[in-house]
Structure 1
Amino acid sequence: MFGRDFKTNPDLESQGYQYDGILESGNEIPTGGMMHTAGKKPEYAVFYVFVDDAEKEIKIALENGGALVRGPVTDDSNITFARS
């Protein structure tokens, strides 16, 4: 898709999710991802941004009127995800 490759990410399987990383040409580290819903959830798009300190950014979002919808969740590779 759009010149990108997909890489299965098993790091969230222990929490019940099937997730693929999206790799740009020449990169070994995913710059995006896609969660499979298996028809169990409505289809939708969510965009994530990598930050150095997820807890700090969550706090800033909440202080500025944001709401925490999901997370934070830390996967098996020690990456913390949250949706606000």
Structure 2
Amino acid sequence: MTYHSVMTPEAPQPAGGVWESQGAFPNYAVFYVHVQDVAETVKRGQGLGAKVLMEPVSDSAGFTFARLQDTTGSHFGVFSAPAA
């Protein structure tokens, strides 16, 4: 997976990023929200009716990501940063 971090001046961690899906997903923006615990957020989302599109995965830098679909059909992601 190719991922480009978006950094803001003097920020201790990325403020966002761009992931190249290489055609694996439809061509539209998916917004990610920073959360403390991705697995717990996914579990809570499922309890509220969300569908898991991508189970939590971690990259080599320690970021954890997951993708969900809400009850209206909108896709969104959640992520957590490695401990500072």
* Same fold flag (TM > 0.5): yes
Name the one with the larger strand percent: 2
1-structure distance, mates of 2:37, 2:9 = 27
Which of the pair has the greater relative contact order for Cα pairs under 8 Å at 6+ separation? Answer: 2
Root mean square deviation, CA, Å = 1.4
The 5-angstrom pairing of residues 4-19 of structure 1 reads 17-19=1-3
| Count of equivalent residues | 66
- The answer for the alignment partner of 2:53 in structure 1 is 69
Name the one with the larger helix percent: 1
**2:11 is matched by which residue type in structure 1?**
N
Structure 1: stretches of 5+ with no match in the other structure: 1-16
Identity over aligned pairs, percent: 33
Matched, 1:78 2:78: no
- 1:27-67 CA distances to partner (integer Å, 9 max, x unpaired)? 24111000124xx3142211111111111110100000000
TM-score of the two chains, using structure 1 as the length reference: 0.69
- The answer for the alignment partner of 1:35 in structure 2 is 19
Following TM superposition, where does structure 1 have runs of at least 4 consecutive aligned residues deviating by more than 4 angstroms? Answer: none
Task: Select which of 34, 40, 64 maps to 1:56.
Answer: 40
